[in-house]
Structure 1
């Protein structure tokens, strides 16, 4: 919310009207969001983590063929 209000003061003219429309739209949407209790979010996280552990590259490692950040091979000529 603070960022949107900051943008309002930064812009001028018709763009400030557009920004204010976004603020109003956000204010209308926020009360409609469903809140989740922390205990429910933790329980969901406990279920999600083991179910998706096989897809987690931090736990399983990354194959060198798939790893985009592997060091590139360099050919050198004498």
Structure 2
């Protein structure tokens, strides 16, 4: 029973080591650089942002329904 438990623990540790090796290879940048990049992206794409520019009524699926003129 202890041999099975040891092999199970070994498998868990190997999986953890594999994941740590993958994460160690990830390219990292400083927080200040990430913030600058994010700010520049937001400024460059602000004209496309519907939260800033609004949604044209013709494209808005949630616009109020038009009233019916039938009597």
TM-score range, shorter chain: 0.5 to 0.7
The runs of at least 4 aligned residues of structure 1 exceeding 6 Å deviation read: none
Aligned pairs (5 A) from 1:60-75 = 60-73=53-66, 75=68
1:33 equivalent in structure 2: 26
Query: CA RMSD, aligned part only?
Result: 2.9
Q: How many residues align?
A: 56
Of structures 1 and 2, the larger Rg is shown by: 2
TM score, norm. by length of structure 1: 0.53
How far apart in 2 are the matches of 1:63 and 1:36?
38
Task: Name stretches of at least 5 consecutive residues in structure 1 with no aligned partner.
Answer: 1-19
Closer, same or farther: CA 45–74 of 1 in aligned 2, 3 Å: same
1:44 aligns with 2:37: yes
